[in-house]
Structure 1
Amino acid sequence: MIINPVAGLGGRVGLKGSDGAEIQHQALELGGRSESFERTLQALRKLSQISDSLELFTYPGEMGEAAVREAGLNPVVLGAIQTGYTTPEDTVRAAEDMAARQVDLILFAGGDGTARNIYSAIGQSIPVLGIPAGVKMHSGVYAVNPEAAGQAIVQFLTNTLSETRETEVMDLDEEAYRQGRVSARLYGYMQVPANRKCIQNVKVRSQSESATLMGISQDVVNNMEPNRIYIIGPGTTTRSIMERLGLDNTLIGVDVVRNGELVASDASERRLWELIKDQPATVIVTAIGGQGHIFGRGNQQLSPRILKQLGRENIQIVATKDKLLAIPGKTLLVDTGDSQLNQSLSGFTKVVTGFMESTMCRVSA
């Protein structure tokens, strides 16, 4: 078990990632916090049923030991760290130390940068599984949510579903990402449990037709209500709505409009809360191509408190038919970090797919 304790630090505050000491410092100054500890706990609690037959290695303190012990498990602690100052090199060293013990699987919490670090240390020599805790998780090594990670581990280690498959390790250029350019790179492949239900696909970039996007944006704009706040989530599908309104768009951020005017650009979670806590509001989001997530991947500004304040009835989903057809099981996914909220968002919901066109899709935790 390896935790990247700074994973996801920049998500809520709109920094599009957490790579690098400067960005981490900036995120902390803005009030950002990592959720890797809590999300790891959610996964580890699933392991209690096999704890008697489990030998679990981890690194000290915030890199795993604290969460493992909080989950009621007794780890073998390896290595040493400088508390509060962990680095990617610590992650690499931890993976190498565990590989030297010939472990059956490495479970780690982080984002795409963490997956790259693990890959650089072990390649395909040991199966891995990621607990999604970062800002961007385009790689196919992550479970759909923390609980699914724990479930997949139990099935893998008890030979219920012990085969593996090869999947991609992807990462974005964060600096380009912050400037609105999506520049993804394939770094290699790792082995993960062959559990299609619990593990996400690699993200697929949208190839939507412009005419379809024009129809979606026209439908959404036609139905916008006066004096209501509209939070426009990231993505090329939602960008078409901003273009229809003639407003500047943050492709990989969250923008806010009201009465056809831009209220906030690239808003943080704190800014969103200030805007909606006393005002009627709707959030418009699209699904991640190839994965199906509508919350919990690249839009962490839409936090549990924001979504609870909005309510399920004020969540609008837009997507082309081609995108929906390419999602495994045609099921949209939610991974907000709040299990109760995930369940409340589950069920069938309307998705706008064109001008005066919609379809019903299942949303699942």
Structure 2
Amino acid sequence: MSRFKLGFIINPIAGIGGSVALKGSDGQGTPEQALALGATAKANFRASQALEVLLPYKEQLVIYTANDLMGAECAAALGFCVETLYHSEGEMTSALDTQKAVDTLLARDIDILLFAGGDGTARDICQQVGDSFPVLGIPAGCKIHSGVYAVTPKAAGRVIELMVTKQLVTLTEADVMDIDESLFRDGIVKAKRFGEMQIPSELRYIQAVKSGGKESDELVLQDIAADIIEQMDDELFIIGSGSTTAFIMEELGLENTLLGVDVLHQQEVVANDMTESDLWSLIRERQPGQVKLVITLIGGQGHVFGRGNQQLSPRIIQAIGKENIIIVATKSKLAALDNRPLIADTGDADLDKALSGYFPVTTGYKDQVLYPLSSPE
């Protein structure tokens, strides 16, 4: 019986700048800067979460990939049959390595290309593939605006599982989006559509393209902000990224990092755009209940952790405590999820499960709704 031929590529530096507030890995010298600041690469870990779903089918597939951290190490460590077809030069890979690896794998008549990265990786692959060949992304970057990604790494594995087990999967076209990271680091979101790629369509597992722009219902945002501001006493308030939380800062007249994490005390800024290590130094000595976290969801996707806020690491979230997490969102943003749950994808499976359940979401002044939050599938 012929084996399923899975093309597999990892961008090892995808998302490396997230935990140190660099907002991504694009740009010359950015990966090196992130490493110097203490960042750790997590793309291989995210990719392994996807492949673990396929372990029961090891004998039914062969993985064609690139050397070392571009795929071979991850797949081989899990015991898959691996053929390494592309070899990069040096440890710090580039967009050119991704593109050359794609060309090499396509020449071996693979069934689908599974890749781990962010929007920059999707753009690099789109330049080589276009809309002529099926691909699927494992989310591993800071920016996940493109519709070619599964909602979580495990969800990507589930989609491939459907194909390996010969279930019918519809192909559809999805947008490849990316934003200007230099503007992104200044708090400006300027997204651009770069093209389309074919993806296996399974709506439980494939994310919606992120909604852009700020909330238009200013009155509702004012009500949400008033509710949160009234709660601010002597605790530290960590304000997560997003336009909804940014409105709280605007109402306070404070400088805000739209795409970062800020910390307040008694309605004044302690620090803006904090890294994970900065946050840890600030909160690790605090007693339970002395730190509150205000976060919102990514429009169209439902993620509250694991998208654009890697500064909020598992140890940060655990130190804060579930009971001190305040989720804010307009009802229209929740309705746009079409009954899909909120998602906690922290990278720690036990923590994701601990966070799961019905969460109170602040939707106005003294107005909350209970909404389900789940761990990645």
Q: Confirm or deny a common fold (TM above 0.5).
A: yes
Query: Contact 2:126 / 2:197 at 8 angstroms: preserved in 1?
Result: yes
- Cα drift, residue 246 of structure 1: 1.8
Q: 1:40 to 1:330 in 2, by over 3 A?
A: closer
Q: 1:123 to 1:13 in 2, by over 3 A?
A: same
- Cα drift, residue 83 of structure 1: 3.2
- Cα drift, residue 157 of structure 1: 2.5
- Cα drift, residue 331 of structure 1: 1.6
- Which aligned pairs between 1:11-30 and structure 2 lie closer than 5 A? 11-30=18-37
Please state if 1:219 is matched with 2:227.
yes
Aligned twin of 2:337: 327
Aligned twin of 1:248: 255
* Count of matched residue positions in the alignment of Structure 1 and Structure 2: 364
Query: Contact 1:105 / 1:128 at 8 angstroms: preserved in 2?
Result: yes
| Superposition CA RMSD, Å | 1.1
Query: Contact 1:256 / 1:263 at 8 angstroms: preserved in 2?
Result: yes
Aligned twin of 1:207: 215
Aligned twin of 2:194: 187
- Which aligned pairs between 1:1-365 and structure 2 lie closer than 5 A? 1-205=8-212, 206-224=214-232, 226-279=233-286, 280-365=290-375
AA matched with 2:172: R
AA matched with 1:209: D
TM-score, normalised by the number of residues in structure 1: 0.97
> In structure 2, what is the Cα distance between the partners aligned to 1:254 and 1:85?
28
**SS of corresponding position for 2:177:** strand
Contiguous gaps of at least 5 residues in structure 2 = 1-7
Query: Contact 1:292 / 1:328 at 8 angstroms: preserved in 2?
Result: no
Contiguous gaps of at least 5 residues in structure 1 = none
- Cα drift, residue 240 of structure 1: 1.2
AA matched with 1:219: D
- Cα drift, residue 161 of structure 1: 4.0
**SS of corresponding position for 1:50:** helix
TM-score, normalised by the number of residues in structure 2: 0.94
User: Is 273-282 or 229-238 further displaced after alignment?
Assistant: 273-282
Query: Contact 1:161 / 1:193 at 8 angstroms: preserved in 2?
Result: no
> In structure 1, what is the Cα distance between the partners aligned to 2:182 and 2:267?
30
> In structure 1, what is the Cα distance between the partners aligned to 2:323 and 2:180?
36
- Cα drift, residue 211 of structure 1: 0.7
Q: Percent identity?
A: 46
- Cα drift, residue 202 of structure 1: 0.8
CA displacement 1:174-218 (0-9 Å, x = unmatched): 001111111000011111111111111110124331111000000
**SS of corresponding position for 2:150:** coil
AA matched with 2:137: G
> In structure 2, what is the Cα distance between the partners aligned to 1:208 and 1:337?
32
- Cα drift, residue 337 of structure 1: 1.0
> In structure 2, what is the Cα distance between the partners aligned to 1:79 and 1:318?
46
**SS of corresponding position for 1:15:** coil
> In structure 2, what is the Cα distance between the partners aligned to 1:134 and 1:202?
15
